[in-house]
Amino acid sequence: MFWDKQLECIEPEKLREIQLQRLKEIVKRVYEKVPFYRKKFDEAGIKPEDIRSLEDIKYLPFTSKNDMREAYPFGLFAVPLSEIVEIHTSSGTTGKPVVAGYTVKDIALWAEVMARCLIMVGATKDDIVQIAYGYGLFTGGLGFHYGAQKIGATVVPASAGNTKRQIELMKDFGTTFIACTPSYALYLAEYAKEEMGIDLSTLKLRIGSFGAEMWTEEMRREIERRMGIKAYNVYGLTEIIGPGVAHECSAQQGLHVWEDHFYPEIIDPETGEPLPEGQEGELVLTSLTREGMPMIRFRTRDITTLHREKCACGRTLARIERIKGRSDDMIKVRGVMIFPYQIEQAILEVQGVEPHYQIILTRPHYLDEVEVQVEMSKEIFSDDVKTIETLRKRLEKKIEQTVGVRVKVTLVEPKSIPRSEGKAKRIIDKRNLK
């Protein structure tokens, strides 16, 4: 299904024309309106008229999360505050949060791109869309809200948390579409089954859109099985607009980037050089049409790969692969880079183990040690010590094979790892690196 078929299946050449036109306009606009950008461009010795082709984007300086903190709160706005109709912030885990400002047109744009996402996975005006992302400063809730309203669906703005009520709403209202973080989706399914005796796969749910944290194919299958739905990956970030920058289509083969509005590049995170198509690196995004707070070459810290070949669904817009990691989340253990998703994948591959885990890093004697705590589930508990030991050793071996670092697996009692209603805290770093 298409929201705007002509655009979503546009000829690549035509798209590039639109992108270049918009890039030129936005570069000119930020140079004139945002002193922050003017200063950066001047320092880099670049003028808006130097942008003659899309490739010239590489001469523009990057914008980092740090830049945004320095510009706190409104230093990156390109319009007077009176034109801003809504403000969001991203969860500032360290230091100041990132602030995003939206004009009336920006909100309409947000609704438009989210509408494309929802229609793309088969949502219609007949769907009952339960939004279990947080409403408020976090962009998740309202982003989905605007999109679901735009397509005329029935919106249930449940917001995050209050799990029991979420499940009651699903059951009583006949929710058909659920949007939340993937870890919360699993928690919902578990809670429904364990605490309320409800099997979510027997309800009317049919589609789910999950994002705001990293997850794996195995988790997708698990969510699809437990909820009886098709589960799709959504991507977005506060700095660019919120959810709706990219979304999977029915092919589930990567996320289409709405690149008529958000121009994607992949760069080498170390050198900042653009990488050729098909190579893994850091995603950099430029918002081509934002009014309130345009972003020029924002470094997302998200690791992925960009593909441009036409998709099975008929769309020509580029696809990014599922986000593989964040440079912020990357842990360096004994000199080896590892991502939590790798450990998660390994645990899930050893069948039967519930995907509840936590990674604990310590450095007892100048050497990093990794402990992975995995919850014991009813399904895999045996009253035989040998069987449990075998399982534990299999987990250790599988993780070591996947990440290349020896780890110690500890099986812990059920529910002893804190559950998250927002983003999962997977890593506890107890190393004193000072």
Shortest distance (Å) from residue 358 CB to other proteins:
13
Q: Which is nearer to other proteins, 334 or 408 (CB)?
A: 408
Cα gap 427→46, rounded to integer Å:
41
412 binds other proteins (CB under 8 A): yes
What phi-psi label fits residue 362: left (phi over 0), alpha (psi between -120 and 50 degrees) or beta?
A: beta
164 binds other proteins (CB under 8 A): no
User: Is-cis flag, bond preceding 157, omega within 30?
Assistant: no
Q: Which is nearer to other proteins, 309 or 383 (CB)?
A: 383
410 binds other proteins (CB under 8 A): yes
411 binds other proteins (CB under 8 A): yes
352 binds other proteins (CB under 8 A): no
Shortest distance (Å) from residue 387 CB to other proteins:
10
Single-letter residue type at 404: G
Beta strands 319-320 and 177-180 are: unpaired
* Under 8 Å between Cβ of 389 and 155: no
Query: Distance of CA 77 to CAs 25, 64, 69, 98, 363, Å?
Result: 16, 15, 13, 12, 44
* Under 8 Å between Cβ of 165 and 175: no
381 binds other proteins (CB under 8 A): yes
* Under 8 Å between Cβ of 176 and 149: no
Among the listed residues 17, 42, 277, 389, the single contact to other proteins using CB under 8 A: 389
Nearest to 361 by CA among 330, 324, 395: 330
Q: Which is nearer to other proteins, 267 or 395 (CB)?
A: 395
The alpha carbon dihedral of 329, 359, 199, 156 has a sign of negative
Among the listed residues 38, 361, 414, 427, the single contact to other proteins using CB under 8 A: 414
3-class DSSP state of 83: helix
388 binds other proteins (CB under 8 A): yes
Among the listed residues 415, 425, 428, 430, the single contact to other proteins using CB under 8 A: 415
* Under 8 Å between Cβ of 159 and 190: no
* Under 8 Å between Cβ of 127 and 108: no
384 binds other proteins (CB under 8 A): yes
Q: Which is nearer to other proteins, 106 or 190 (CB)?
A: 190
193 binds other proteins (CB under 8 A): no
Among the listed residues 13, 43, 351, 378, the single contact to other proteins using CB under 8 A: 378
Among the listed residues 27, 338, 376, 407, the single contact to other proteins using CB under 8 A: 376
Nearest to 155 by CA among 168, 165, 164, 142: 142
Shortest distance (Å) from residue 383 CB to other proteins:
3
Stretch that binds other proteins, among 236-244, 281-289, 292-300, 412-420 (CB under 8 A): 412-420
Stretch that binds other proteins, among 71-79, 298-306, 325-333, 374-382 (CB under 8 A): 374-382
Among the listed residues 86, 377, 394, 431, the single contact to other proteins using CB under 8 A: 377
362 binds other proteins (CB under 8 A): no
DSSP secondary structure string for all residues of 259-277: TTTEEEEEE-TTT--B--T
* Under 8 Å between Cβ of 254 and 248: yes
# of chain residues touching other proteins (CB under 8 A)? 18
107 binds other proteins (CB under 8 A): no
Shortest distance (Å) from residue 377 CB to other proteins:
7
* Under 8 Å between Cβ of 165 and 180: no
367 binds other proteins (CB under 8 A): no
Nearest to 50 by CA among 66, 68, 27, 77: 27
Residues that bind other proteins (CB under 8 A): 376-378, 381-385, 388-389, 392, 410-416
